[in-house]
């Protein structure tokens, strides 16, 4: 059986390392690869899969267009408007494991119960982050982002899940006093903000993991805060994908070990 991560670009994806390590640990004769797939190519790819396919992981730019090809969607993908997993069977089933990966990564770092959160960015990962923070207990979430239409979309989700949501500028944000701050913006976007970090109260999860630490994460740690790499989210969301595709509990410890070995080989920081 086989599976893959689809998206563009995916040539440097760490997902094959995680999933293939899981298959080895579970004693499964499966393979997992990375396949460059543009948004316009997803339909033809899905039309070509046969019974030898378990499913696929989806990264940008495919997380929204995938709704056109799913027969069923789980609650989290419907709520967030983002799909990162398709499982093949008698039908194509869609899931969002990013939310679960975020919850696991934050809980593992000690944020098992929070009340306030701040999100930088407003895309698909930001929407998943909003739901993850609510699942951890957050009742107040502040968003700092430029795309007004995307922020309005997040506000609608917040209303559904019962979170008090507000959109502010950085200067009016509660990012230095919140229980959890999650940066979902691209690498370098918050480098200037890193200069303003001073004695942060909460934990920072930065989805950017190359380079690591980011300038924001480095400043956060130096001034006394706790930081979590986006690789922790990647690890845990992949674990949930393994379970969905194989029906077996994911061997997260072995997946982490393989991930760290690959990170060392690439000259990157481990988790």
Residue 213: count other Cβ atoms within 10 Å of its Cβ. Answer: 19
Q: How far, in Å, CA of 207 to CA of 211, rounded? A: 11
Tabulate helix, strand, coil % of the chain (nearest 5).
45, 20, 35
Residues in a beta bridge with 55: 3, 87
Please name the residues in contact with 228: beta carbons below 8 A apart, sequence gap of 6 or more.
105, 106, 109, 203, 204, 205, 206
Q: How far, in Å, CA of 110 to CA of 63, rounded? A: 29
Count Cα atoms within 13 angstroms, Cβ side, for 259. Answer: 26
Instruction: Report, as residue numbers or ranges, the catalytic residues.
Output: 63
Closest to 237 measured CA to CA, from 104, 65, 74, 60: 104
Residues in a beta bridge with 265: none
């Amino acid at each position: 059986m086989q599976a893959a991560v689809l998206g563009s670009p995916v040539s440097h994806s760490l997902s094959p390392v995680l999933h293939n390590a899981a298959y080895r640990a579970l004693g499964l004769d499966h393979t997992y690869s990375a396949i460059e797939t543009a948004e316009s190519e997803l339909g033809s790819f899905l039309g070509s899969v046969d019974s030898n396919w378990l499913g696929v992981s989806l990264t940008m730019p495919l997380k929204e267009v995938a709704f056109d090809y799913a027969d069923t969607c789980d609650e989290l993908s419907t709520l967030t408007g983002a799909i990162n997993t398709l499982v093949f069977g008698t039908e194509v089933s869609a899931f969002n494991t990013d939310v679960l990966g975020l919850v696991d990564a934050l809980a593992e770092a000690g944020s098992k119960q929070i009340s306030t959160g701040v999100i930088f960015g407003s895309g698909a990962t930001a929407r998943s982050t909003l739901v993850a923070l609510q699942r951890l207990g957050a009742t107040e979430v502040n968003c700092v982002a430029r795309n007004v239409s995307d922020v309005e979309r997040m506000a609608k989700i917040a209303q559904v899940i019962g979170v008090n949501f507000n959109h502010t500028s950085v200067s009016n944000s509660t990012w230095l006093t919140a229980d959890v701050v999650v940066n979902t913006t691209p690498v370098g976007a918050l480098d200037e903000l890193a200069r303003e970090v001073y004695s942060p109260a909460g934990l920072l999860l930065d989805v950017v993991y190359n380079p690591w630490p980011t300038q924001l994460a480095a400043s956060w740690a130096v001034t006394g805060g706790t930081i979590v790499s986006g690789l922790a989210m990647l690890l845990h969301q992949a674990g949930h994908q393994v379970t969905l595709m194989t029906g077996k509990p994911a061997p997260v410890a072995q997946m982490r070990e393989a991930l760290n070995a690959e990170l060392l080989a690439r000259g990157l920081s481990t988790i």
